[in-house]
Structure formats: C-alpha cells, structure tokens
Chains A and B, each alone.
Chain A
Amino acid sequence: MVTTRRAALAALGLPLAHAAQVKITNVETFTVKVPDGGSPDPLRAYRYPVTRVYTDAGVTGTSFIGIDRNLLEGWVKPTLVGDDLFAIDRHMRRLQMNSGESRTQGWSGVEHAMWDAVGRLAGRPVAELLGKARGRLRIYRTTVFPGAQDQSDVPYERQAQFAARLKANGYTAIKLRAWRPKPMDDVDAVGVIRAAVGPSFKIMLDRTAVRPGWVWDYPTALKVARGLEKHNAYWLEEPFDGQDLQGPARLAAEVDILITGGELGRTLQEFAAFLHNKTYDIVQPDTRICGGIWAAKKISTLAASFGVPCIQHGTGAFALAGYIQAGCSMTNCEWQEMIGAGPNLPTEEWEPGTVLLEDKKAWRVENGYVYLPDAPGLGLRVSEAALKEYRVRA
C-alpha cells in the first residue's frame, strides 16, 4: 500500500499551534458622534462613548462604555498595558485591591472591551465562552417620559398609549417609574395601562430606592404592592433603600408580586448578603456597576445556587452589547432591560449608531426578544473607518 506524505499527515493530524500569551498594548477612550441630519431627535442616540483595548495579536476590542480618564491614566494603562489580555479575573482582583470597590464600575468599559477582544481572538461570541445558557433574551423597555422627573405631569393615558405601541411592535413588557408624589397614583396608572394592553403584557414598576429623594415607609410599600397585584403587575423594584436588606424581604414574604433589586451592588459579597437575607425575589446586578461581564456571571452563579433569578439591570443602545452576552451565558436570566431616552423603541434609539457598524445592523429584535448575535466578541461588527470618521474627542 502506498502511503503518501499527505495521507500520513492526515492520519497524524496537525500539531497544535502555539497559543502565545496575548498582551494588551494600549487602552483608549473617546466619543463618537454620528450624523443627526441637522435636526437631532431627542429619542435617538447620536453620541457614543467608546473604549478600545489594543493587543499584540492584531485584534482590538471595543465597548460602547466610556471610562473615567483619571482611572484610565492612573490605573488602567499603567497596570494593564503589557499584561495578559485573558487574565480578567486577576486584573479585577488587582483593581479591587489597588483602588477599592468604588472603582469597579469605572473600569467596566475596559472589561467589556477586553471580552470583545477575547471573543474576536477566539472567533466566538462571548456568551459561548461563558457557558451559553440561551440564544435570546426577552426585552423589557424602561421608559421615563419627558416632563417632571417624578412623572407627576405625565397623563396615565400617555403611558398607556406608549405601552400599546410597544405591544404593537412585538414587545411584551414595559417598566415605569413609581415616583409620583401620591404613591397610589402609580397604581392607578398601571390600571389604565393594563386596560390598554390586555392581560398578558408585563408591567414592572421601579421605585429606584432613594433616588426619588424620599423613601416609602413599609405600610406605603405594602399598600402599593397590593394595588399593583390587583392590576397584575409583574414586579416592584427597589421599594426601599438599596442598603435595606430586611424591608424588601419582609415585603416579598407578604405579597405575591415579585420584589426585585440590586442594581447598585458592586461586590459578590453584597449579593451574598441579599441572597442570605432573601432580600429580593430577583437580583438585578448591573453589568457595568458590578465590575463587568465576568463579575455579573459570578453573581448569576451565586444567585442560581439559591434558586434566585438574576436579571440584569440595563442600559441603552450599544452599551448593551456586553449585557446581552452576559445574559445569554446565565442560566437564570430571562430578561434584558433596555432603558430608553424617552418613549421610543430600542431599535429607533440605536438606529443612528448603525453607521458605526460594518453591516449597518445592530441586534436582531423580533417578537420582543433580542437575539444573541453570531459575530464574535460582543457581537457588534464595529467599522474602523466609521469610528475614525465620527470620533469627536481624543
């Protein structure tokens, strides 16, 4: 039998290629402003913060989350340039040790961009490298209407009309502020919205802890929660101070509507405290505030071990890229919050930004779901030429 060299090689297979350590060569952050046609629409996004991580492997990672310049020059560059791109866990620990937990939010733009580079090197979406639990996330639209911060001048009908518009466009959920000076007004608003959207559309209410400037007492929260239950609202978010471990737990035990929270949690230990105290029915880490995609995956894992869903707090437009990857890696994350600049659809808001993408397309959104993109990294096919063209600030 004649054995050719080619056949012999095929039988042997090819040796594994050397996988040299990939080093970070530079990190930068800047803003891009895309054309607004001369008359900007306040419901569309034209300015995008960008953070980029350059590597010696010829791959660059990009996130649409800016980072603080002092942190960039004072810690990120001195620490990360010349070091291992992949050692995200080690870098995160060093950041916490060197700068304290308050800085974890600051570097997230870098962390997301590092994951983009890792995924591009691997040729795979980041969600796949983190265990990939799902291929799509259900969207809920968080909408703050123009007018008073507490929405006291926003007619219930205006909120109901917009919820109906979301529904007509395939979306299945809306989240609104529960900030009105008379708390039961927000319950009445939900009643009007419920009548407009029918029984299966999800309506979430967000009290946002201390942000309204005053905190509900327990009887108020209980009354609101009971009222929301009657209108079949889906969840009530951060009814008390975000540091209050017991109040939400007491409310969650007393009512059937889900009590949620955790967006300001910065450490795994804070989430452990929420879980030990049964503070929330659903924990909601923010994939920027908690320190990044990796930190969010850790929190999700911890929550899953308690049987608690981990539904990420959201953001808007292209900053969502890392959130969507993280969410699709989580076994216990069904939803992705998308926060609007006002009453608009997510696809409308990021439409101007698509000039930054090679294929002029962001995510596939269908029937209220956002689908995990099939591009490597964070999934946005960022155009080098467009980033250069629209860059406004060094």
Chain B
Amino acid sequence: MRNRRQFLPGLAAAALGRAAQVKITGIDIYDIRLPVTADEAAAGLMHAFNVVEVATDAGVTGYSFAGPGAAQLSAVRRLLIGQDLFAIERHLYNGLARWGGVEHAMWDAIGRLAKQPVYRLLGGGSTRVKAYVTCVWPGKEDQQHITYREQAEQAVRLQKAGYKGMKIRAWRPNPLADADACAEIRAATGPDFAIMFDRTAHAPQVVGQKVWSYDTGLKVARALERAGAYWLEEPFARDDFESPARLAAAVDMPITGGEGYVGTADFQQCLLHRTYDILQPEGRGSGGIFTCRKVAFMADAYHHPCILHGTMALMLAGWLQATWAIGSEWQEVALVTPPLLPQQQWVPGLKVLRTKEMYRIENGDILAPELPGIGLDVIPEALREYRVR
C-alpha cells in the first residue's frame, strides 16, 4: 500500500479536469418486444418493455426499461432537452416526478459518466438485499379460485429456490379466508419464511369490493397475525392517514403502505401521523430513485424502515439501485405468475444484455452488480432489433 501510494503522486499531481455541464441532447421512448412463443407469453414471461434513452453531449446514453410510454415523449422532451443532466432536484420540481422511468435513465447516464453504480453515489447502504416475491395467479383478480394448497406449494417452491418471503393478495370475498390461506402456507414453509398480505387499498374495487371498514381491517389483521403473517399492506384508503396508524397500534404485525404517493409530501403526512410501520415508496411512481432516497431520509428521522414497492425483470434495475443505496431489508419482486420463479419469468430480457444474468441471485438475495449506472449492460443494437415499429 505504501509503495503504491509513493508511486502515485506523479499521477495524482495532474491538475483536475474541468467538469463541464452535461446537457441532455436527446430523449427517445419506445416499445420493444422480445421474441417468445405463444406458450411462453401465456405463462407470463416478460417480453414487452417501454424503453427510455437519455442521450447527452458527454457521449453517454442512459437507459431504462420502466418508461412512461411513447405518448409522453414530446412532453418529456420539452422538459429535458438542452437541460443539465445532473439537476435532478430542479427537474423533479418542474415535473419530472411524473416520469420515474425517465429519471432512472438519467441516473443511468449519471452513473455511466461517473463510472459508478448509482447505489454507491447515493450512500452505498448495502450490496445485497433480500427479495420477497409477490405472486398473483392468472384468473380471478381476487384469487378465490386458487386453493390454499396451491399458494402453499408456490411458497415452498420459492423457499427451495432460496427466497425468504412471498406476498399474496388479501382480496378473497370472505376476508378471513386469506388468513386461512396464511395458516396453510405457514404449515408448509415452517416459521422462517415471511408471508406478506396486500389489500392494495382501493384496488379491490375492480372485483366489486369496497375499502375495508376499520372493524374489518382489525378482524382480518388479528386473524392474519394469529396465522403467522409477516405484514399487512394498505388495509385502508390511501388518503386515510389515521386508520392504518390506529390498526398498527392495535396489532403487533407491521402495517405497511405508501406505493400510491407521488413526491415526498404524503410520506411526510404518514410520518407525522405514524400511518405505517414501514414506508413503501414506489420505485417509479413516487418520482423515481432520488425521491425514494429522499423518503428514506425522512423515514430515518422517525426510525421507520423504507422498503420499496417493486416490479420485475429489466424494469427492476432502477428500483434495486435505490434499495441498495438505502440499505433496505427487502426488495419486492412483482408480479410473479406461479409456478414460475422470478428469474424464469424475466429470461427474454437477457436478449438485450451482454451479461449472462440480469441480476445475480444468491440464496434469495439480489446482489448489486459492479457495473456503472443502473447496472444493465445494454446492447444498443439489440434494442434496435426488437424495437416495435
């Protein structure tokens, strides 16, 4: 070490270069469709993505696969073309938060310029994270056609693959039925596997259900707790900052939420009202990587964990950078279609990458790659090939 340093002063003495402002020179947003068989598509293999490219005058282009759709292209260009790539705070203020995937591509460009992974630039909290897998079975949205047995089998399948947790919907018409499902899954997995439940606030309206009353929420939460559930997510409406706090005070199981909020203001309300035990900003919908990082700053002040709401396949790259930067305990991988494992479902995406794996998964942990930007070594030619005309 000594020798190396003694050797280096000549090098280190070179004057620092000028860090000229980096301007965004081009934005493209388009769909790609990767080749899959009809059977693979039906099984849920992820093969369609909306790509964002952010080109700069520094010769670096950033990519994201979590784009907002080509319809947003002219509005995104109006906001960003000719602007300072690095002025993320200013762009968020001016409306970038609507397009979290564009922000991911900007961070990818920043990381590529810096030759560092984004998670390192934003605090470097960790280099691995436990994945939990959110499973939704094809068919009825409320999952009432799925037996408890089938859910238990998928949990065991995940457990055998090394995963430490699974999340399923709490949407069955009889809300206590989901607690029975939990008991059966728990019996199959043993105690060391996290089983999370997601009520998804108002989302069950699509199957004709209402947001739970407080009484119902309490009854379900007690039953889930008895059945060994790990957390209950969004039991009430997203603009109700009080009822989740009341429930969290009544039960021991964590009550979680936050995926529906854009920007930091609603999270501040959550913290002031102690609405949720765990804040779950959405990696894209919240505004993106930097907004998630800021929500975690705020959560720090109140000692609340911040665990991102998830996605999967190529899109997940931006989410993971925020998660590793924060050092969160978990990252959601969603939505997985049983009987597939996540890595089986995102195989088609490998066609646009130089790497053999999309993400290295080890014993259920997703490991941070030592690659710049958001960590995807994208092949531009492959994007051109699979671009939907």
A359 in contact with B15 given A11-B380, A13-B379, A124-B114 (CB within 8 Å)? yes
- Whether B1 and A331, one on each chain, are in contact in the complex, defined by CB atoms closer than 8 angstroms, is no
Contact of A89 with B12 at beta-carbon distance under 8 Å, contacts A12-B379, A131-B89, A298-B300 already known:
no
Interface: B301 (CB within 8 A): yes
Indicate if the CB atoms of A87 and B123 lie closer than 8 Å: yes
- Is A249 positioned at the interface, with any CB of B under 8 Å from its CB? no
Q: How far is the CA of A298 from the CA of B378 in the complex (A)?
A: 33
**A365 lies within 8 A of chain B by Cβ:** no
Asked if A271 meets B301 with Cβ closer than 8 Å, knowing A86-B120, A123-B113, the reply is yes
Closest to A375 in B: B16
Give the residue of A19, A56, A120, A271 whose beta carbon is less than 8 angstroms from that of B372.
A19
- Do A20 and B370 contact each other (CB < 8 Å), given the known contacts A88-B124, A358-B15? yes
Contact for B302 among A123, A124, A272, A383, CB less than 8 A: A272
Question: Looking at B13, B84, B115, B121, which has the most chain A CB atoms within 10 Å of its CB?
Answer: B121
Tell me whether B116 and A17 are in contact (CB under 8 A).
no
Quote the shortest CB–CB distance from B318 to chain A (angstroms). 16
Q: Does chain B have a CB within 8 A of A305? A: yes
Q: Are B377 and A15 in contact (CB under 8 A)?
A: yes
Asked whether A21 and B370 contact (CB < 8 A) given A26-B1, A133-B87, A385-B13, the answer is yes
Q: A123-B114, A305-B265 are in contact. Are A86 and B372 (CB under 8 A)?
A: no
B214 within 8 A of A: no
Interface members, chain A 125-146 (any B CB < 8 Å): 125, 128-129, 131-134
Establish whether residues B16 and A268, one from each chain, have CB atoms under 8 Å apart when the complex forms: no
Q: Give the contacting residue for A60; candidates B12, B268, B377; CB below 8 A.
A: B12
List residues of A (292-309) whose CB comes within 8 Å of B's CBs.
294, 297-298, 301-302, 304-306
Most chain A CB within 10 A, of B1, B264, B300, B373, is at: B300
Chain B: how many interface residues by the 8 Å CB criterion? 64
Residues of chain B with a CB closer than 8 A to A329's CB: 89
| Contact between chains at A18 and B301 (CB < 8 Å) | no
Which residue in A118, A120, A132 is a CB contact (below 8 Å) of B16?
A120
B89 touches A132 (CB 8 A): yes
With the chains together, A89 CA to B86 CA distance in Å? Answer: 21
Instruction: State A26–B6 Cα separation when bound (angstroms).
Output: 13
CA distance A212 to B316 in the complex (A): 55
B contact residues around A302 at 8 Å (CB): 297-298, 301
- Are B89 and A133 closer than 8 Å at their CB atoms? yes
Instruction: Say how far A249's CB is from chain B's closest CB, in angstroms.
Output: 16
| Whole-angstrom distance between the Cβ of A28 and the nearest chain B Cβ | 11
A378 → chain B closest CB, angstroms:
10
Within 8 A of B (CB), among A43-70: 54, 56, 58-60
Contact of A305 among B87, B127, B264 (CB under 8 A): B264
- With A and B bound together, what is the CA distance between A3 and B53 in angstroms? 26
Chain A: interface size category: 35 or more
What 0/1 pattern do residues 366 to 389 of B give for CB contact below 8 A with A? 000011110001111100000000
CB distance from B241 to the nearest CB of A (A): 14
A269 to B271, CA, bound (A): 12
- Which residue of chain B has the shortest Cβ distance to A59 in the bound complex? B12
Which residue of A129, A134, A375 is within 8 Å of B121 (Cβ)?
A129
In the complex, how many angstroms separate the beta carbon of A89 from the nearest chain B beta carbon?
A: 3
Beta-carbon nearest neighbor of B267 in chain A: A305
Closest Cβ neighbor of B382 among chain A residues: A12
- Contact check, B16 vs A54: say whether CB atoms are below 8 A apart: no
Residues of A close to B267: CB separation below 8 A: 305
| Residue contact B16 to A381, C-beta cutoff 8 Å | yes
**B271 CB to nearest A CB, Å:** 8
- Quick one: which of B6-24 are within 8 Å of A by CB? 8-9, 11-13, 15-21
Looking at B9, B19, B372, the one whose CB has the most chain A CB atoms below 10 A away is: B19
Taking A26-B5, A87-B124 as contacts, is the C-beta distance between A132 and B301 under 8 angstroms?
no
State whether B125 touches A87 (Cβ < 8 A): yes
Chain A residues 108 to 124 lying within 8 A of chain B, measured CB to CB, are 118, 120-124
Contact with B along A374-386 (1 / 0, CB 8 A): 1111000101110
- Tell me which residues across on chain A come within 8 A of B9, comparing CB atoms: 384
CA gap between A241 and B246 in the complex, in Å? 36
In the assembled complex, which residues on chain B have CB atoms less than 8 Å from the CB atom of A54?
5
Bound state CA distance, A86 and B326, in angstroms? 12
Q: Is A394 an interface position by the 8 A CB rule?
A: no
Q: Which residue of A lies closest to B15 (CB)?
A: A358
**Interface positions of B from 60 to 117, Cβ below 8 Å from A:** 84, 86-90, 92-93, 110, 112-117
Interface residues as binary, A297-336 with B (CB distance below 8 Å gives 1, 0 otherwise): 1100110111000000000000000000000011100000
Is the pair B17, A376 in contact by a Cβ cutoff of 8 Å?
A: yes
- Contact check, B126 vs A122: say whether CB atoms are below 8 A apart: no
Residue in B13, B93, B122, B127 whose beta carbon sits within 8 Å of that of A384 in the complex? B13
User: Given the complex of chains A and B, what is the CA–CA distance between A59 and B372 in angstroms?
Assistant: 18
Given contacts A13-B379, A16-B371, whether A269 and B86 have CB atoms under 8 Å apart is no
B301 and A58: CB pair below 8 A? no
24 contacts across the A-B interface (CB closer than 8 A): A11-B380, A15-B377, A16-B112, A16-B371, A19-B116, A19-B371, A26-B5, A56-B4, A84-B124, A86-B116, A86-B123, A89-B125, A89-B326, A118-B121, A123-B17, A124-B19, A128-B19, A129-B121, A268-B300, A276-B272, A301-B297, A304-B264, A306-B268, A375-B16
Residues of A whose CB lies within 8 Å of any CB of B are 11-13, 15-21, 25-26, 54, 56, 58-60, 84, 86-90, 118, 120-125, 128-129, 131-134, 268-269, 271-272, 276, 294, 297-298, 301-302, 304-306, 329-331, 358-359, 374-377, 381, 383-385
Going nearest first, the 9 A-B pairs with the smallest beta carbon separation are: A122-B114, A89-B123, A86-B120, A128-B86, A87-B124, A133-B89, A86-B124, A131-B89, A305-B268
